[in-house]
Amino acid sequence: MKTLPLGRAFTLIEPGPLVLVTTNDGRKDNVMTISWTMVTGFSASFAITTGPWNHSYAALQETRECVIAVPTVDMIDIAIGVGTCSGRDTDKFDKFGLTPVKARHVRAPLISQCLANIECRVVDIIDRHSIVMLEGIAAYFDSSRKEKRTIHAVGDGTFIVDGRRLDRKDMMRDKLPGGL
């Protein structure tokens, strides 16, 4: 997994992939599946919707750290499995064969199997909307991975796989931040 310039991290989340969010509460690693995410700025700012109904939320609140990991289509059943059991009674890394990798700045682990990982700090929690604001502080991308297609939850139990990619860089030139 190679370092990805932080200025590119938002491009991992902007297309709306299903993501895994890892935490470590000081005793053990945990991971949850999140589909409700949003980019809020080019300098690696993100919002996710979560709350006390997720076991990971307590760790997120206390440690104010997490990792956003981006799985690909070959990991769909792992992502759904992670999202349909709880860290309360399950060691999800063990159950789903996920390999935790030590992060650089946070105690929450990167996930070795994922296409990309973003180390994040919690910068704000907007309780009334169950929104947690994150700032990306380091990003990684596994360019050696063959399968790079991510998945998009529809919310009704179906998932859309990435199809082909259209290039409109010329039309967008004036709107893109430097370096993209």
Whether 124 contacts 133, CB under 8 Å: yes
| Residue 49 lies near a second copy (rule: CB under 8 A) | yes
Rounded Cα distance, 156 and 45, in Å: 28
Decide: is 172 part of the binding site for a second copy (CB under 8 A): yes
Cα 97 to Cα 34: distance, rounded to the nearest angstrom: 19
Indicate the SS3 state at residue 34.
strand
Binding status of residue 164 toward a second copy by CB under 8 A: yes
Residue 40 binding a second copy, by CB under 8 A = yes
Lay out the site mask for a second copy across 53-92 (x = CB under 8 A, - = otherwise): --------------------x--xx--xx-xx--------
Q: 6, 38, 122, 137: which one contacts a second copy (CB under 8 A)?
A: 38
Q: How many CB atoms lie within 10 A of CB 139?
A: 24
Cβ neighbours of residue 84 under 8 Å, at least 6 residues apart?
Answer: none
Among 128, 144, 146, 178, indicate the residue that binds a second copy (CB under 8 A).
Answer: 128
| Nearest Cα to Cα of residue 48 among 97, 12, 2, 13 | 13
Closer to a second copy by Cβ: residue 101 or 142: 142
Binding site for a second copy (CB under 8 A): 8, 10-11, 14-17, 35-42, 45, 47-49, 73, 76-77, 80-81, 83-84, 124, 126, 128-131, 133, 149, 151-176, 180
